[in-house]
Amino acid sequence: MYRKERDSMFDENIKKANKTKADTIIRALEKRGMKGYYCDTREEALELALSFINEGDKVACGGSMTLGEIGLKDRLGNMNIDWVDPFKFTDADEMFEERVRTLTTDVYFMSSNAVTMDGILVNIDGTGNRVAALCYGPKKVVLVVGANKIVGSEEEAVARIKTDACPPNCERLGKKTPCAATGKCGNCLSQGNTICSYTVSTRFCSTGRLHVILVNDYLGY
């Protein structure tokens, strides 16, 4: 969907409805041991995300279009932090070692492929490094989630991801998958191509380390 079309989706009535949904989700997140936040714009979301970082922190990002769209990655490059960035490497072994380092960071940024109205985070991952950090390791995990990723249930979340997120991501990554060719998930088992290796639903956090920023904007896939 083109940017103009995406923007046109967010008239004032839709934005009001999104705010109501966010309020409901934030209450649900609290019951699940997660902290929820609401931001009206991506600019507000960027500043809130940055507020989780202290000078000298070890910081990393999972693969995410959302983080790029709000400008987070550009800002991190100019901060006094230990930025752990696997994507700066092309060698597979070096990238692996850097991805392992992301699990020991102070702050890990990512998005969520979907969030349900009752506060469950649903993510599908190819390599597994992103969902690994979500589940265990970094002291704080900050998720920036656009209103377009709000769904009613876990089943709707998986359907949304496989229909709206995986095909464009496969195109972006140059993957030779059925969904890239047809726009429809083929439940492929293609070595080196499938990006649907792991499906993780986060229904509770016992450590209080997960922070979810809900943004009243269309962000990511």
Residues 140-197: pLDDT tens digits? 999 999 999 999 999 999 999 999 988 888 888 889 888 888 888 888 888 888 888 9
Cite the beta strand spans of 31-178 per DSSP E: 35-39, 58-61, 82-84, 107-110, 114-116, 121-125, 140-146, 150-151
| Structural contact between residues 215 and 158, judged by C-beta atoms closer than 8 angstroms | no
How many CA within 13 A on the CB side of residue 140? Answer: 18
| Domains of the chain and any CATH numbers | 3-215 (3.40.50.10420)
Q: What is the pTM of this model?
A: 0.92
pLDDT tens string 121-153 = 999 999 999 999 999 999 999 999 999 999 999
**Distance from CA of residue 44 to its chain's centroid?**
17
